[in-house]
Structure 1
Amino acid sequence: MRGVLVLAALLAFSPLLAGCGLQPMYAGGGNAAVAQGLAAVDVPSIPGRAGWLMRNALTDRLGVAGAAAPRYRLDVRLDDSLEGLGVLGDDTISRERRILRARYQLVDITSDEILLDATDGADAGIDVVSSEYATIAAEQKALENLALEVADRMVTRVALTLRAREKGQSSE
């Protein structure tokens, strides 16, 4: 009996969901306007190991639809820091926090107009253990994971910006 009530409720509310205005961002796959816009974003080199990891993560995510002639440039500045959190009685650090912040601007290459100026970041906790090698490996792995996480956030914001721009241009 309960299953019938749930099914009836779903059928009753389904017209409301259809009219909510939600649309898939990547409708059309690699040929979608947003996917083509992302493929046209150039990411210049970013200094440091964190920059190398971030640029690789960004180019992997932006180039999913294939290569396109650059129409946009994504300028990125990173702030990577490592700070001690947990301090034991003998003044040794038992826990660290790695923070990766990115300030970035999406620039239209033809007009030098800044389409997006934003900041994203993430952090991770790291246990400091007796093995220095294990601690360094954990710090490096945390940086790799943070670069992927921040790159995902950045690409999402860039995609939303490009979608809004495309909708604004198509309605004029």
Structure 2
Amino acid sequence: MRRPGAPSRWGPVALLLIAALALSGCTLRPLYAGGGAGHVARALEAVEIAPMPGRAGWLVRTALEDRLGNGNGGAPRYRLEVELDDRIEGYGIRIDNAVTRERRTLRARYRLVDAAVGTVLLDATAGSDAGIDVVGSEYATVAAEQTALERLARDIADQIVSRVALYHARTGPAR
């Protein structure tokens, strides 16, 4: 016999049963189903990355090439065009007007284009930012700015590849 106010032992079991029933109706599918031979992986390998100017462009392009692979070997089916906006702003100001903190922001507007007909399939943006401490050594500050740019380029590439993969997963196999 259960005391009044004591917790029921059936409460957690019922909650677990409800959660199991809810998950059984879930329509989640793996994004990279089929591994390297799957639809999304093949579509990502068929993407050519347009050149991007500057150090930020080189870093983003290299990160994209690392993530997209280069296993197609044939003519690319898609072209990825990326425009970057790289900014550094000082926002921690001391009484003597010296900057003590900076924010580096990297934004990308990218378009996935069907290479055969020139139709824009996906037009989106990605962005990331990082805070940088400005220290007495100019060398250390420049090194921190460069390290931040490298990290931001990887973040942007991850966002772009995720969005392009999601686009291909939603549109289904290429005809």
Please say whether Structure 1 and Structure 2 have the same fold, judged by a TM-score greater than 0.5: yes
**Structure 1 2/51 Cα, relative in aligned 2: closer, same or farther at 3 Å?**
farther
- 2:96 maps to which of 90, 97, 106: 90
Paired with 1:35 and 1:10, the residues of 2 have a C-alpha distance of 36
Aligned to 2:86: 80
CA root-mean-square deviation: 1.9
Q: What is the deviation of 1:2?
A: 8.9
Paired with 2:89 and 2:149, the residues of 1 have a C-alpha distance of 13
Task: Structure 1 unaligned segments of length 5 or more: list them.
Answer: none
Amino acid at match of 1:24: P
Paired with 1:7 and 1:88, the residues of 2 have a C-alpha distance of 59
- 2:52 maps to which of 46, 49, 67: 46
Deviations 1:70-121 (A, max 9, x none): 1100000101011111110001000001010001100011121100011111
Aligned to 1:124: 130
Paired with 2:79 and 2:57, the residues of 1 have a C-alpha distance of 16
Query: Does residue 1:32 correspond to 2:66, yes or no?
Result: no
Query: Does residue 1:67 correspond to 2:98, yes or no?
Result: no
Query: Does residue 1:160 correspond to 2:171, yes or no?
Result: no
Q: What is the deviation of 1:12?
A: 3.5
- Aligned to 1:22, the other structure's residue is in SS state coil
Show the 5 A alignment for 1:144-159: 144-159=150-165
Paired with 1:93 and 1:139, the residues of 2 have a C-alpha distance of 14
Aligned to 1:143: 149
The worse-fitting range, judged by mean Cα deviation, of 12-21 and 102-111 is 12-21
Aligned to 2:139: 133
> Moved runs in structure 1, 4+ residues, more than 6 A?
1-4
**Structure 1 143/5 Cα, relative in aligned 2: closer, same or farther at 3 Å?**
same
More helix by share: 1
Task: Structure 2 unaligned segments of length 5 or more: list them.
Answer: 1-6
Aligned length, in residue pairs: 167
Q: What is the deviation of 1:13?
A: 2.2
Aligned to 1:100: 106
**Structure 1 148/6 Cα, relative in aligned 2: closer, same or farther at 3 Å?**
farther
Q: What is the deviation of 1:32?
A: 1.0
Paired with 1:135 and 1:7, the residues of 2 have a C-alpha distance of 56
